[in-house]
Structure 1
């Protein structure tokens, strides 16, 4: 079995190396089994019916039509946490720059005459123009305590800041990694009203779009600074500009360019630098490649945004991978069809996520004809979206 991978964008070589070997070919087929992308916008691309999965070397998936792919039975993976350190460091750097006018001071210094013998005296006389403040003892509000938010919260506390975080969906694993000295807020309103600095680290979904809007900004502590290194659409830009003009917000720092923000006073726009480190690109590419390989070779799903996590030891000769609607009696329908064909089930697992579900069924050694018959039977069931057969190469190695 040869799996074909198609890549978009420049994928780090360390990630592509995961596909070395006779079992994989990269960019050699117009009918790939999987796509590996970074920022490529797939909304306007008609992907081949052969595609089983898409791996996004990054956390956000707003460049992927996830709902459409789910209906087609295409599993979408991302790489949460792989670029967390890169984003965390950029957030901390911008916290420092928001407290101290470092960029303005450096830009002013570059305007000085290089042949002026009194340049040191000029600098000493004018440095009062760039007086800042200190982060120590200031309060940082972290909205979203996932991989990045938790790291920002922990390191900001170590810098001497008072940190309060809000996340109603924080996972158990993340909770263990958050310092006990980071105060947990019960509402987002508490964070907004009490923080000198606010930083957002939540995914973009229909319910989180413009989560920072005029209503929320009315609650913000006077003179606060807002940082957005998550997704541009989480913030209503017009509401932010009005809050800055009214003096409610002191600064807005974002990694997402928009025409209305560029060259606007008290707004700093960066060119989407969050994950732009060599280390982050490598980490994301390697994680995405490993995830795709694991799914293609075993049917197991980890780090998917549209299907449940399913991880079952593959210790049988054959495996069925079924994507289907989450409706009653589906498991019974599958097992009855297998029983009618006289096929014994070695192991199975079923998990659901919203309107869809995923089932793995391990089978004893059967003939090619039997396997083809059961696949045909299962594919004829209206609620089953896709059926894939996987041969366990390890069994025969």
Structure 2
């Protein structure tokens, strides 16, 4: 390999486009990582991160020349899985490479690019994305290290800034909105129905317990409600018992993102009288028909509502958090560059050691185990160490400058050596990180 491999991420998030477009891109795109690896694309590894307001895919490619082909391959497969045109997907996806990939993921994992700044669910989603990719066999060593470092950075932001102490999340802000809209603020008196049994449903159940809610029922179109409530509490619902639960519900919460959408007509035909209903839709692809919000006595809270209601964090806390993220990104890239240097140094030393041992064997064969032979061997080993000193120092110097690829290419040209190295991006340090500064450079490319 002539140089260091490259990180590429393709990002569609609420920061750049509307949530409806993000939802369309996310639909049925979870298998894209496996599909592109099975194709003839240059992509060596991939991890997909899909949340309530973003769809991102992180890829490893051999060199910068492969980035356009890799991007095109991902767009083609997302188009095939979603039915959207390649032009639509290409316009929606923002491409990031090298250091921008690192800074972006670390920023996302720390909750600094979320609708609710500092939200805590995203860190868990980053961990799950890595676990799923490892299980599916799509994660390379470089991507594993990247995601693990992002998780550690998120913990640091949570423990070292006030963002972590707030405990804010998409779910908590949605529940706060529901409290404001309700005539009764006591969650212990409310009858609640949750749709879904995934991570957001689990986070919702946990926060409801904190608010002393105890009359909670769970519906899953896939039949997992009973297993879900067995470990978290609540009552399971099925198709037969759902209607009766909806007739007496005060709050319904959508967390599934499944094809089982609750329509406005389903609510309209219920025998609810004038009983008010608050519908909280946290699913990116909408568990509830948006028309539900037009029904009498029904208040609809969706992700856009949450984004608009999310409190603004203090600029000092944001500056501290962004500083932690940028320092972590710098450290990660530096470590990766050192790994690139180490791989090159090891390859050179193995080569020279093999040459040395061959010559030592010739001396022993000619002179035997004599004092003269030992002196010659000692002199040869000492000379080899001296000869390797300057190339070793230069390897580390070039790696620190982000030029490990130049060193590796020189080894290939001079000695015909093949060096397998991890990603080793360069880092562009920022002099300051004000709260209003974008966390990472992004370039939107046409397809």
Higher helix proportion (structure 1 or 2): 2
Larger radius of gyration: 2
Higher strand proportion (structure 1 or 2): 1
TM-score per shorter chain, which class?
0.3 to 0.5
TM-score, normalised on structure 2?
Answer: 0.36
TM-score, normalised on structure 1?
Answer: 0.39
